[in-house]
Structure 1
Amino acid sequence: MEPSSSPPAITEPAAAGSGEPLAHRRLVFGIVAIALLMASIDQTIVATALNAIRGDLKAELTWSGWTITVYALGQIIVMPLAGRLGDQFGRKKIFLGAAALFTVASLCCSLADNIYLLVVFRAFQAIGGGAFMPTATGIVAEQFGRDRDRAIGMFTSIFPIGGIIGPIIGGIIVTYWSWREIFVVNIPIGLLLIVLGLRFIPSSVPKATSRIDGTGAFLLAVTMLFGMYGISSLGSAGAEPTDPLFIVAMLIALVLGFLFVRHANRYATPFIPISLLRGRGFGAMNTINFLFGAAMLGFGALVPLYAESRYGIPPLQAGTLLTARAVGMICVAGLAVFALRRTGYRAPMIGGFVLVAGGMTLMSLAPHGLTPYAWLAMAAGITGIGMGLSIPASNNASLQLAPDQISAIAGLRGMFRQSGGIVAVSVTTAILNHATDAGTTQAHSFVVFAAILLLMIPITFLVPDHRGTW
């Protein structure tokens, strides 16, 4: 590969039709990987700065927490939208637009002088960050041809890296500078992404020339917004399922969801085809992704809290338990990716679910022969190994069902997983708010998460298995 040579004018149909990997594929993978890593870091880096933000902006804790919640909500809403937009208008355009929005929003976050503006700017930042995954998936699939299954599987190792270094970077920046520099560091990276993307990412031919379904996009966005807002409100202190806020938000979400489904069934070219939401293959994978997010993402977010409340482990040490999980995940994910063509999708998903369920069960039990920290670290490492085994297979299983709609499917996958995670965290924290012994109650919740994973195993048999290349 010669840096001085111009990138070939690759169009999407040519790449897809030939199946041959393209010359600049590794460079393109590196560019989109930087974007994914930056979005992943921003999911966790702000958590270390909550107290600093609260003190500097004189904000209530609930509003400070919304700097994290709104980022997750924004990503949930934008993932399926960005996937569809990438298919319709070209993935390079949406990717570069996302990078520009993320960069500008990061600058605005660093300059915010009150908590309300900061939450608004974080929402715009989430729109940019959420658009990276579906567009990056489509771009990499075009570049790697018949090797796209392995390339997409390698995305598995990027997000845990962000989970490892995000809190560390955030702690260093807050300690030696201020919380504002957490957002400032995104600006040069975002500018670099834009320059490299303009230079090396080839343009793709849009898959559809029909007018975009604006009504469907709006209905889906507001359905997710009201649904996730209602569910996240359960996590507030003193919140009850009978609270008017929760009931009204969920009723609005149900009505809007019904209108969205009816519109998608009647519209000639819907924003999200109903075929991607139901049926033996997609219906099963969407269910798996939602439960996967509830069990694995919800579990991960609650591990440090569990270590602190049950065993009195200091916060910084409790946070490193997620590092043990991420290390286990990274170690296995690469091997799982290259074994996919021999194992198919079902075997690694089932094996991974069993391992994660086992690790969660161990974590819920009292330590045997080890210190509490060592016991929890061992259990977290086992869950990481299970995640590294199952995630590459689950990432590819739904994409293989319709390779011509990769971006839209990747966006829906992220939406279902993030939704499951928020539901699990919100419901669990609502239960913990009313528990007399939070540590023991949370141990019981881990057993429930493990049971959910085991119940997912029969569903995997509804997913078409596949060996070899796509």
Structure 2
Amino acid sequence: MFLIVSIGLFVIAVDQTVVATALAAVQADLDTGINWAAWTITVYSLGQVIVMPMAGRLSIRYGPRRILLGAMTLFTVASLCCGFANSIEVLVLLRAVQAVGAGALVPAATGIVVASFGDNRDRALGMFNSIFSVGAITGPLIGGLCVTFLSWRAVFWVNVPLGILIVALSLRYLPPTASGERQTFDALGALLFALSMLGAMLAITHLGGEGASPLSPFFLAAAASGLVLGVLFVLHARRRAEPFIPLRLIHGKGFGVLNLINTLYGVAAHGFSALAPLYAQSRYGLSPLQGGTLLTSRAVGVVAVGGLAVLSLRRTGYRLPILVGLAGFVVSLTLTATSPSGLAPAHWLAMAAAVMGVAMGITVPASNNAGFHLAPDQAPAIAGLRGMFRQTGAIVTVSVATAILSRSADPGVTQGVLFLVIAGVVLAALPLVALIPEHRGSW
């Protein structure tokens, strides 16, 4: 059962990075600009931010097995169609459909583990991040091989046989999972939440565009719509006995601090993965290949300590590994921003990336599990919100950084300063770890 879920998570993780290697080929073949080509990556992240919490609630209502099967089927069909896209507009639209399937898979997988693994569910959930790290390592390699020997279209088609395998194995081996809530579905709440997140994310990503301004009509309209719809969602959720997403899962006791920690995780860890290769090239003149190996060093760090962190979780509890991991983020970001002395820049940055990976491997098992005991019956929804906050942190970081760098006379040095600012924000948040619920793996 864990193997089936793991293959699904691996495919989703590969698709986060594999498309980046094909951007130049997509741009040339479809005769489009780099901004449109980059939207094939941006829309994938945006879609997951919106879908993850919604899929978590649907998993509770209809059972996680049904959602996983539907998500994987949709993802596989969309992958097949992406390979046949004849224009960049069609490709971006199909990538959005792909994101719906990818975003729904994680909370559904969490629900299956919670329902099936009993006392070992905390360890199974803790292993998820190692799977994502292996996918991050192999994604660029698979993409490079496909583009070099086949076509950029093969980057998407490689998902199809794996998707079919997962669906077939799930139908055969995953037992039916019980449906939960049977009250009237809060369709209005779901719509308000989705549209508010869409407006907010479009406003944030717009800032990263070339020449974008926070005073532009598009930014103001998107931000205003996101804010207004967000307020309407909160008011609606307060009035409804069974809202689409209970507000206590967002800001309730224990949940509020965990959501903030997960946002900071996205800012530091995911933001680093997006910005570090560019930083290596713009500040130190390293090649794209050398810049890409930084992510390999980070992933190796995650895998090296992830298993030990999972096995130690019941002894360490949640607070200590999260505290150590966040402190590791501060060290890694500071090392990255500091000019190397006595070491080649490539080696220095690889060491900083490895520290980031070790910190992630220590942090994730604890942060993946902390909070589930507060509402065990809401585990898929909690997992969906956790993914949403992490992705939101990453999108905010990349968009703001891109906006600043586009106006900088020395982007390399400016990026170093941004890494130090992020390190300072994470350092200031360390005292919040004391507020995290502590149950040492017991639900």
TM-score, normalised to structure 1, is 0.93
Tell me the alpha carbon deviations over residues 406-453 of structure 1, each in whole angstroms, 9 at most, x when there is no partner: 100000000010011000100011000011110000001111111122
Tell me, yes or no, if the aligned pair for 1:49 and 1:179 is still in contact at 8 Å.
yes
Equivalence for 2:282:
309
Q: Does 1:218 align with 2:191?
A: yes
Give the superposed CA RMSD.
Answer: 0.9
Equivalence for 1:102:
75
Question: Counterpart amino acid of 2:122?
Answer: D
Tell me the alpha carbon deviations over residues 43-79 of structure 1, each in whole angstroms, 9 at most, x when there is no partner: 1100010110011111121111110000000001100
SS of residue in 2 equivalent to 1:327: helix
Question: Counterpart amino acid of 2:261?
Answer: I
SS of residue in 1 equivalent to 2:143: helix
Tell me, yes or no, if the aligned pair for 1:280 and 1:463 is still in contact at 8 Å.
no
1:74 to 37, 47, 53: 47
Equivalence for 1:162:
135
1:64 to 24, 37, 49: 37
Equivalence for 1:254:
227
SS of residue in 1 equivalent to 2:127: helix
Give, in whole Å, the separation in 2 of the partners of 1:50 and 1:115.
Answer: 11
Q: Does 1:32 align with 2:5?
A: yes
Question: Counterpart amino acid of 1:262?
Answer: L
Question: Counterpart amino acid of 1:102?
Answer: F
Q: Does 1:334 align with 2:307?
A: yes
Map 1:430-441 → 2, pairs under 5 A:
430-441=403-414
| Matched residues, number | 443
Please identify runs of 4+ aligned residues in structure 1 that moved more than 4 A.
none
2:18 to 40, 45, 57: 45
Tell me the alpha carbon deviations over residues 147-176 of structure 1, each in whole angstroms, 9 at most, x when there is no partner: 110110000101111111101110110011
SS of residue in 2 equivalent to 1:461: helix
Q: Does 1:429 align with 2:402?
A: yes
Tell me, yes or no, if the aligned pair for 1:364 and 1:443 is still in contact at 8 Å.
yes
1:393 to 355, 360, 366: 366
Equivalence for 2:318:
345
Equivalence for 2:428:
455
Tell me the alpha carbon deviations over residues 368-394 of structure 1, each in whole angstroms, 9 at most, x when there is no partner: 111000000011111111111111111
Give, in whole Å, the separation in 1 of the partners of 2:98 and 2:19.
Answer: 12
Equivalence for 2:172:
199
SS of residue in 2 equivalent to 1:147: helix
Tell me, yes or no, if the aligned pair for 2:319 and 2:438 is still in contact at 8 Å.
yes
Q: Does 1:419 align with 2:400?
A: no
Tell me the alpha carbon deviations over residues 68-100 of structure 1, each in whole angstroms, 9 at most, x when there is no partner: 000000001100011100000111111000011
Give, in whole Å, the separation in 2 of the partners of 1:369 and 1:61.
Answer: 37
Question: Counterpart amino acid of 1:357?
Answer: V
Shift of 1:323: 0.5
Q: Does 1:182 align with 2:155?
A: yes
Question: Counterpart amino acid of 1:77?
Answer: I
Any stretches of 5+ residues in structure 1 without a counterpart?
Answer: 1-27
Give, in whole Å, the separation in 2 of the partners of 1:465 and 1:312.
Answer: 45
Give, in whole Å, the separation in 2 of the partners of 1:355 and 1:106.
Answer: 37
Shift of 1:403: 1.3
Shift of 1:467: 2.2
Give, in whole Å, the separation in 2 of the partners of 1:202 and 1:190.
Answer: 19
Give, in whole Å, the separation in 1 of the partners of 2:120 and 2:436.
Answer: 21
Give, in whole Å, the separation in 2 of the partners of 1:405 and 1:460.
Answer: 23
Q: Cα gap change, 1:71/1:468 in structure 2, threshold over 3 Å: closer, same or farther?
A: closer
User: Which is further off, 175-184 or 287-296?
Assistant: 287-296
Shift of 1:468: 4.8
Tell me, yes or no, if the aligned pair for 2:371 and 2:437 is still in contact at 8 Å.
no
Tell me the alpha carbon deviations over residues 339-398 of structure 1, each in whole angstroms, 9 at most, x when there is no partner: 110111000000111112101101111111110000000111111111111111111112
SS of residue in 1 equivalent to 2:371: helix
Tell me the alpha carbon deviations over residues 278-322 of structure 1, each in whole angstroms, 9 at most, x when there is no partner: 123001111111121112111211000000000000001110101
Identity over the aligned pairs, expressed in percent?
A: 55
User: Which is further off, 325-334 or 237-246?
Assistant: 237-246
Give, in whole Å, the separation in 1 of the partners of 2:442 and 2:227.
Answer: 40
Give, in whole Å, the separation in 2 of the partners of 1:468 and 1:224.
Answer: 32
Q: Does 1:144 align with 2:151?
A: no
TM-score, normalised to structure 2, is 0.99
Give, in whole Å, the separation in 1 of the partners of 2:156 and 2:272.
Answer: 27
Give, in whole Å, the separation in 2 of the partners of 1:357 and 1:80.
Answer: 29
